[in-house]
Amino acid sequence: QVPFTVLQGEGVEYLGHANDAVIAISNYRLHIKFKDSVINVPLRMMESVECRDMFQLHIVCKDSKVIRYLCHFSTFKQCQEWLKRLTRAIARPAKPEDLFAFAYHAWCLGVCVDEEDQHAHLCRPGDHVKYRFEMELVRMGFDLQNVWRVSDINNNYKLCSSYPQKLLVPVWITDKELENVASFRSWKRIPVVVYRHVRNGAVIARCSQPEISWWGWRNADDEYLVTSIAKACALNPGIKVSGGMLHNGSSDGSEACDADFDSSLTACSGVENAGTPQKLLILDARSYTAAVANRAKGGGCECEEYYPNCEVVFMGMANIHSIRNSFQYLRAVCSQVPDPSNWLSALESTKWLQHLSVMLKAAVLVSSAVDREGRPVLVHCSDGWDRTPQIVALAKILLDPYYRTMEGFQVLVESDWLDFGHKFGDRCGHQEKVEDQNEQCPVFLQWLDAVHQLLKQFPCLFEFNEAFLVKLVQHTYSCLYGTFLGNSPCEREMHNIYKRTCSVWSLLRAGNKNFHNLLYMPGSEQVLHPVCHVRALHVWTAVYLPASSPHPLGQDDMDIYLPPGSQSQEFSGRCLDRLPKTRSMDDLLSACDSSSPLTRTSSDPNLNNHCQEVRVGLE
């Protein structure tokens, strides 16, 4: 008998016994039921599995969890059999349809085939995601009559397969010029505008590196497009307040920002008249050394001499290989048993927090240039699909309170990560036919960690809570939903993933109170200025240290991978039994009445005597 409640579309492939547990492998997860605990792990969440001490399994998960001493088999042969089964189960799929998201959606479609509206509600994101491009253009106030235009040059992804089909550029830039620019930019990822500051008109654009190479190639149309972005901002200025000054929306807490790179933002003291373009900031996420080294591969960076009225700044962010190594070190440190005595030095050696600090500084540099100085910013790294979305999306959160709402955050992820071709399939390790295993890297997880740092520093300015981010981490890898399948919008459309899988936003919708931040104060227009020092950052314990103990993960840790309603009643009851028995006040109003004595006891019995002593003292 299957020892767990089977999910929609889930089929059990292997079922057996170890000395101390019942073990099952389905097409979605590994399930192990011990006498007093249960472990559920999605197969796609697992990065590797190996045999330890001859009779036990050891699982390493992509979201940093490590499950030690999993089951104790009676013989070495039995352990090896289950190791082979798990290894086959977690192997990369031969085709996208092998991922569980398709079977899960097919079941939902079969159940709701006569109730199309209900099916759409359960499986599809809202209109704010479906019509995000058009709605964002209106919300940010782009002048599409005189200054900006939406180019259809990428219809059917004929120009760039990793870009969206609709691209926003200055109105006087022709499609022929865009084609010439594409021939000069890596992977044809041309500079396009993705954000506009409503109050001063400054924009954020993104692209990939120019293909300068050792020969020092130039492209007149590329230089023209970059400088035209700054000119367009001057022609489409923002909304000014009385006195001719721009309201920047920043708070008194801006002094908390790092002083070591604030000085680099003073090149332009303020917005001048609308006809004078501001000096455009080209932010290269790489170090200068790495950018120059890329010329050997045909890449490179912009030369200020050829791009008039532009300034190039290098941020020194690490590449995916350094981030992958840092994450592996972090996972090893967080999974050490027993807890290491040199925890702080071991954490420092991973350089994870240092990498987060650099990312936050880059985002603050962009947001400050846009908000304080009204300067347009162009962001790129090498290919423009890893470090670039990290910086751009984080800067947009700092600048715009809309992206701190649940609805706006969904639009942000869809627009800056999915539409612009972050390679989720390769980076998360669930893409089929991958030859280079070194493509795997927790880039999106690192960005979510940075958002978590902002949530820690500004707990009242985000509509969603930490559980929202944790759930997003889990379903980035679980493949229960189709949102993060594939490497590009072209690939997702080719496989019809949008219509054949459920959207994770149907779970993380704004109406789900489980993910609502009770401290949220709507209506705030504050621009965030976070502290970026390493000492101000925190280890994300909910993700990297979920158990906070050296014991194997129990069901209360692993059931969070499952969709709502799939957790067993047995587990729910057991969790409630473990909670401290406290008594709550039935009527707070009557409790405040001096005529009715307080007879309830504190949830901490040790405080009862102390409270009585205080009460006597007050009398």
**For residues 225 and 191, is the Cβ–Cβ distance under 8 A?**
yes
Point out the catalytic residue in the list 257, 310, 381, 479.
Answer: 381
Which one has a higher pLDDT value, 573 or 497?
497
Domains of the chain with CATH codes: 12-91 (2.30.29.30), 120-237+277-544 (no CATH)
Q: Write the pLDDT tens digit of every residue in 444-500.
A: 999 999 999 999 999 999 999 999 999 999 999 999 999 999 999 999 999 999 989
Asked if pLDDT for residue 375 goes beyond 70, the answer is yes
What average pLDDT does this structure show over 545-557?
46
Q: Tell the residue number behind the tokens 């079941």, with chain if given.
A: 107
**For tokens 């594409």, what's the residue?**
182
Is beta strand 310-314 parallel, antiparallel or unpaired with respect to 280-284? Answer: parallel
Give me the residues paired with residue 57 across strands. 51, 70
How far lies 544's CA from each of 37, 63, 441, 540, 549, in Å?
Answer: 21, 8, 16, 6, 12
Q: Residues marked as binding for substrate? A: 294-297, 319-320, 381-387
- Is the pLDDT at 300 greater than 90? The verdict is yes
Query: d(Cα 597, Cα 557) in Å, to the nearest integer?
Result: 41
Tell me, what's the pLDDT at 467?
96
- Taking the C-alpha atoms of residue 30 and residue 82, their distance in angstroms, rounded to an integer, is 11
Per-residue pLDDT band for 578 (boundaries 50, 70, 90) equals: very low
Which pLDDT score, from 0 to 100, does residue 337 have?
A: 78
Residue 206 has a pLDDT of 98
3-state secondary structure of 483: coil
What is the mean pLDDT of the segment spanning 353-377?
A: 98
pLDDT at 576: 34
Mean pLDDT of all residues in the chain?
Answer: 83
Residue 435, pLDDT score: 66
Pairing verdict, β 203-206 and 377-380 = parallel
Under the banding of pLDDT at 50, 70 and 90, the label for residue 408 is very high
For the cut 90, the answer to whether the pLDDT of residue 355 exceeds it is: yes
The token pair at 441 is 């890297």
Give the tens place of pLDDT for each residue, 26-78. Answer: 999 998 888 888 888 999 999 999 998 888 889 999 999 988 766 788 889 99
pLDDT of residue 236: 94
Higher pLDDT, 270 or 207: 207
Q: pLDDT above 90 covers what percent of the chain? A: 64
For residue 217, pLDDT over 50 is answered with yes
Query: What dihedral do alpha carbons 129, 459, 536, 474 form, nearest 10°?
Result: -40
Burial letters 402-440, b for 16+ CB under 10 A, else e? bbbbbbbbbbbbbbbbbbbbbbbbbbbbbbeeeeeeebb
How many Cβ atoms sit within 10 Å of the Cβ of residue 246? 22
Q: Are 485 and 478 in contact (CB under 8 A)?
A: no
Q: Is residue 202 pLDDT above 80, yes or no? A: yes
Evaluate if residue 273 carries a pLDDT over 50: no
- Mean pLDDT, range 599-607, rounded to an integer: 41
| E strand residue ranges, 73-202 | 148-151, 167-170, 192-196
Q: Which residue has the higher pLDDT, 440 or 111?
A: 440
Residue 245: its pLDDT value, please? 43
Better-scored residue on pLDDT, 565 or 544 = 544
pLDDT of residue 116: 57
Q: Render pLDDT for 153-167 as a digit per residue (tens, 0 to 9).
A: 999 999 999 999 999
What's the rounded Cα separation, in Å, for the pair 67 and 600? Answer: 42
* Residue 13 confidence class, pLDDT cut points 50, 70, 90: confident
Q: What is the pLDDT of residue 198?
A: 95
Write down the pLDDT at residue 118.
55
State the pLDDT confidence band at 600, using cuts at 50, 70 and 90: very low
Mean pLDDT of 406-428: 97
Q: Which segments of 18-160 are extended strands (E)? A: 22-26, 29-33, 38-42, 46-52, 56-61, 66-72, 148-151
- Quick one: pLDDT at residue 2? 65
Task: Enumerate the H helices of 441-565 as residue ranges.
Answer: 443-457, 466-478, 489-494, 497-500, 541-544, 555-558
Indicate if 381 belongs to the active site: yes
Percent of the chain residues past pLDDT 70, beyond the cut: 79
